[in-house]
Amino acid sequence: MAQKRKTSRLGDPTIRDRELKYLKIEEGGTYTKYCNFGIEGNKYGIKHEGENPLPIREFYISGDYLQGKCKKCDKRWRNDGRSKNNRKDKENLSDDDIRNIWYPNYRKGSYDIVGDFSPLKDCSDCEQLISVDYFSISRGMEDGLHNQCKDCSKANSEAVGDRWIIYNPEGKNTVRKNKNSTCKYCGTADGIDKDHIWPISKGGTDYNENIQFLCGIKGNQCNNIKSNSITEKDFYSIDQVKFKMICERYWDILRQAKQENWSIELFDQKMQIAVDKFLRYKARMSDEELKNYFDIEVKRWNRNINVPRAVKKFRKFSEKRKLDS
């Protein structure tokens, strides 16, 4: 009987959840699976190569079940199959041609055309119907457009990628909004998105314990108003600040704050000083040291971050803030 695989990375909630699902499948007696690209391949001519069946960890998990194709075939299907063929179909089309083509909308049934206005497409992030003019061209996609509108794409890039590069928050949240999700401040269900309760720019983590939903696109725009401030709606005493909300590198400050019953305002000030010291410490690293640091953190938290870009991005931020002075 095959032994259960052990992992030393169960501290990451994403990895822990995935590993527990694999273990549950193994407890049912399944240790290997056939890749369904192995017999006839698929419509793009991609066929499984090599050993078949494979260990179950060579397959992604969707919900509680293993996907039909293995990870290698999935990657080839996305890059060499679907994306390549979509790009080929649109290689002779201009950007305007792509935006004027009507395609099925796989999320909400159909695009809409209103009077003389441009066709509307729903953004996968803010879930609003927006003119196709506000979506970037992506010829590898089915309809030739990105799924996110330009505003959401830019905001997510800055909020998720760039903030991670600068502040290196610990953790990786698995929170997802659903039909019952509402803004914590005003209660609206319109235009809500994730908000870090204790801001990442002040030492906050990306764990589930530090995530809430606030409106930002529609409603009262509570997220935009809050920005990176600390409000009484979230904290009125230091006892409400959980350790999982604060990066472990700052835990000594939080312990002292709790022991001495600091005000939230004082803790906020101390955290800003500590974060500034951390950023200056990173700024003093050589490019090679910074690359090694990012390599470790990317693997530790399973982040999809381009390390060479991260080094350049942090250097640019460091120069702008004059952190090495």
Domain range annotation of the chain:
13-82, 90-148, 152-321
- Across the range 230-258, mean pLDDT stands at 95
pLDDT at 253 > cutoff 90: yes
Look at residue 4 and give its three-state secondary structure.
coil
- Across the range 95-102, mean pLDDT stands at 70
pLDDT of residue 190: 80
User: What residues contact residue 42 under an 8 Å CB cut-off, 6+ apart?
Assistant: 77, 81
% of the chain residues with pLDDT over 70? 81
- CB burial string 219-246: b at 16+ within 10 A, e below: bbbbbeebeeebeeebbeebeebeeebb
Of 95, 84, 122, 90, which Cα lies nearest the Cα of 106? Answer: 122
- pTM confidence score: 0.56
Q: In angstroms, rounded to a whole number, what is the distance separating the alpha carbons of residues 31 and 57?
A: 9
The count of other CB atoms within 10 Å of the CB of residue 40 is 8
Q: What is the pLDDT of residues 141-196, one digit of tens each?
A: 777 787 777 776 665 555 566 889 999 999 989 888 887 889 999 888 887 888 99
Higher pLDDT, 79 or 201: 201
Higher pLDDT, 279 or 129: 279
pLDDT at 202 > cutoff 80: yes
Please give the helix or strand (H or E) that residue 131 lies within, else none. Answer: strand 129-131
pLDDT of residue 102: 52
pLDDT at 218 > cutoff 60: no
- Across the range 23-49, mean pLDDT stands at 83
Identify the DSSP state of 5. Answer: P
Confidence bin at 10 (pLDDT 50/70/90)? very low
pLDDT of residue 3: 35
Question: H helices of 149-263, where?
Answer: 150-156, 163-167, 222-226, 251-259
* Token pair belonging to 186: 């005003």
Confidence bin at 19 (pLDDT 50/70/90)? confident
- Across the range 283-305, mean pLDDT stands at 93
